[in-house]
Amino acid sequence: MRSGWRVATGLGLGVLRFGGPDAATFLQGQLSNDVIRLAAGQVQLSGYHTPQGRAIALLRLTALAPDDILAVLPSELVQPVAARLQRYVLRARVRIIDGSPHWQIQGYAQVSPAPPDGALVLPHGTSRQLVLLPASAAAADAGDGSREDWTAADIADGLPQVYAATSEAFIAQMLNLDVTGGIALDKGCYTGQEIIARAHYRGQVKRRLQRFASEAACRLVPGQGGVLGDGRSFKVVEAVALPDGRSEFLAVTTPEPQAAERAAQPEDSEASAGAETLTLVPARQLALPYALPWALPAARA
């Protein structure tokens, strides 16, 4: 990870394209955000979930037109998500295609320069932009940043991502989608809505995405389970190596120990369930740019 970069390339992102008169209404019944409200030129974070509320993928949507919607997600999930969604098309007038070959994707640390015709500029994080350039267009800038630089900025912004290794591992609120604008609680039904709504209204979320830096050299990867130095189990959502060999990472775990002492033991322990290894990782907790709405039971007398 380096500071001072301006344009990051090789981000490992792909594009799904949804076209047809029913594109928006089809996605409305599948995703956690209110796709009907998506206007041309806007970007919307949304989750695609199982009926049990577990995130299969996170999509950043933008509308070229009411019947033409693009979704940006990790390249490794483009085909699996397309195949899964295709099973639910039935009579809906919607086409789902892999649009990745038609776009170049770059990440800008700040505001991008004037893009060429046909390019899409999508706000990302606190100050960055994702720029989708038509494949036929010359790249706007030579990249001086890498995927690791972009990932480090995502971690600093507390932005989750879902990869093949973590697909179906977490419910929406464990990834802080309710805090980062990825859930519309006032929309109609969608896959996983019952579980996600119940977790919100009953305050059942005992584990959430948090930010850490390891205190010794280690290399962490998404999906890896471990135990923090303070005894909390965790599961990695995103991680990046620091120049000195340590790692900065986002992981789902319980509140900080002082609050965790009052929290009931969660019924669903993602950090240990199915993990191949449980590595001890002494780590320092870092601040997120947003507050977490912890739901903790009252202390016992």
CATH number belonging to domain 7-145: 3.30.70.1400
**Do 175 and 58 touch, CB atoms closer than 8 A?**
yes
pLDDT at 40: 83
User: Topology of domain 172-286, per CATH?
Assistant: Elongation Factor Tu (Ef-tu); domain 3 (2.40.30)
Q: What gap in Å lies between CA 10 and CA 106, rounded to an integer?
A: 8
pLDDT at 2: 59
pLDDT at 141: 62
Q: What gap in Å lies between CA 129 and CA 114, rounded to an integer?
A: 12
In b/e form, how buried is each residue of 236-265, taking b as 16+ CB within 10 angstroms? bbbbbbeeeebbbbbbbbbbeeeebeeeee
pLDDT at 268: 44
Residue ranges in the chain modelled with pLDDT below 70: 1-3, 138-142, 258-278, 295-301
Pick from 249, 42, 228: which is nearest to 161 by CA? 249
Instruction: List the chain domain ranges.
Output: 7-145, 172-286
Domains 7-145 and 172-286 belong to one CATH topology: no
Q: What gap in Å lies between CA 116 and CA 71, rounded to an integer?
A: 20
Which pTM was predicted? Answer: 0.90
